[in-house]
Amino acid sequence: MKEELLSKIRDRRAVIGIVGLGYVGLPLAMEFADAGFHVIGFDVSQRVCREIMAGNSHIQDVPGETVAKHVKAGKFEATTDEKALGRCDAISIAVPTPLSKTRDPDMSYVNAATETVARNSHPGMVIVLESTTYPGTTREVLQPRLEEAGRIVGEDTFLAFSPERVDPGNATWHTKNTPKVVGGVTAACTEVASALYAACIDTVVPVASAEAAELVKLLENTFRAVNIGLVNEMAIVCDKLGVNVWEVIDAAATKPFGFMRFTPGPGIGGHCIPLDPHYLAWKMRTLNYKTRFIDLASEINSEMPEYVVRKVARALNEDQRSVKGSRVLIMGIAYKRDIDDMRESPALDVMRLLEERGAQVDYHDPWVNSFTENGHTKAGVALTREVLERADAVVIVTDHSGVDYQLVADHAGLIVDTRNSTSKLKPSKARIVPLAAIRNTDKA
């Protein structure tokens, strides 16, 4: 069974199924199609499947032409019919893994996808979970369900975990050239899953178990969350000391070894960094262990929007204004630079906190024309001289490139700059309040 599957992968006869065609699933589907496989995408969303079959891409990093090319050539199909998965030899699952309201793992999507895959499984399949999750999920959740469906994992069915490392908007590192870690439930599972990914990804990194692979992803994202938390705390420290945090970081980064540059900001966003470490924290709570670094980083990072809003309130106060009734313009609503993804964006928290205090908040974001939150749709405003002059405060939350920050500084009265976007501008009329107050150093 193993040899037959390896041979199908080698000569591209293997039919690939991708469950969940989002930020992770669609780019992966395109890599398999580019490598010469026939790919079936299964998604519960009719809208997503319709768009794809019409030759469009709903994911920023995947060009519509690539989708159209593969659909037209009959190499890629997207469907809501789960029976299509029965035609597959390999299935990668990339469905969401959010947190519940109590910040515990919400495994409902993984459970539903597992049921679907198990129902449509047959001997001679390799099945890989890509969704970020707690260590143990592949073995404890997927394996038993597949065995209930009659599969023998490690013998006629090969099961592994392989974390996705998609970085939306990253022009250098994408699905194909980012090394891919693969860990199987058995050694044979690792071997087959590694062969599968090696067919379309430049570098595959096999590890000894599914648990190791699950933990790799959590280490990577916890590392980022903790270091961002550290540097955010450093911004608060610098604020109290009146030292320029950006100067401190830039100077520390001249050390050629032993230091890695992270930058502070208004909080963390996206589908990964704010959420993934909680999967590990939750798992460890079930084993009576408290992951203190995760909890502390999360506490500091999630307090940053409130910190920013306090800065805005203090700055308006210095202008004899209250937050209530002030017009505030938020620059950048997406969670990070040069993408349109708003999931968990700290800008939404900044906006909500300002509105709760009675401010009238507009936003400008070249990547997000409008968004809907809690049933309310809000449209962005154009960046014009009038909009800037009308604002009592401008808050730079996400520093998209291509934005004319000189225009902002020339026409706004007050700017709270959480990203250091204004440090290199020509002198302007705006009063600029940085993330950390600068007193002891010479600003010029």
Ligand X SMILES: NC(=O)c1ccc[n+]([C@@H]2O[C@H](COP(=O)([O-])OP(=O)(O)OC[C@H]3O[C@@H](n4cnc5c(N)ncnc54)[C@H](O)[C@@H]3O)[C@@H](O)[C@H]2O)c1
Q: Which residues bind ligand X (CB under 6 A)?
A: 19-25, 42-45, 48, 94-97, 109, 112-113, 116, 130-132, 164-166, 168, 271-272
Q: What amino acid is encoded at 309 in this protein?
A: V
Question: In the complex, what is the shortest distance from the CB of residue 232 to ligand X, in angstroms, rounded to a whole number?
Answer: 21
**Which of the residues 49, 88, 238, 272 is marked catalytic?**
272
238 belongs to the catalytic site: no
Question: In the complex, what is the shortest distance from the CB of residue 172 to ligand X, in angstroms, rounded to a whole number?
Answer: 15
Alpha-carbon span 70 to 72, nearest angstrom: 5
Among the listed residues 193, 221, 204, the one whose alpha carbon sits nearest the alpha carbon of residue 134: 221
Question: In the complex, what is the shortest distance from the CB of residue 287 to ligand X, in angstroms, rounded to a whole number?
Answer: 22
* Closest residue to ligand X in the complex (CB): 22
Instruction: Specify the residue, 112 or 253, whose C-beta has the smaller distance to ligand X.
Output: 112
Alpha-carbon span 39 to 368, nearest angstrom: 31
Question: In the complex, what is the shortest distance from the CB of residue 252 to ligand X, in angstroms, rounded to a whole number?
Answer: 28
Question: In the complex, what is the shortest distance from the CB of residue 411 to ligand X, in angstroms, rounded to a whole number?
Answer: 35
Measured over the CA atoms of residue 169, residue 54, residue 30 and residue 139, the dihedral's sign is positive
Question: 294 near 321, Cβ under 8 Å?
Answer: no
**Burial (Cβ within 10 Å: 0-12, 13-18, ≥19) of residue 45:** middle
Tokens of 302: 């999630």
Angle at 114 between CA 110 and CA 115, to 5 degrees: 120
Among the listed residues 372, 365, 236, the one whose alpha carbon sits nearest the alpha carbon of residue 301: 236
Angle at 246 between CA 241 and CA 248, to 5 degrees: 65
Question: 270 near 343, Cβ under 8 Å?
Answer: yes
Active site members: 272
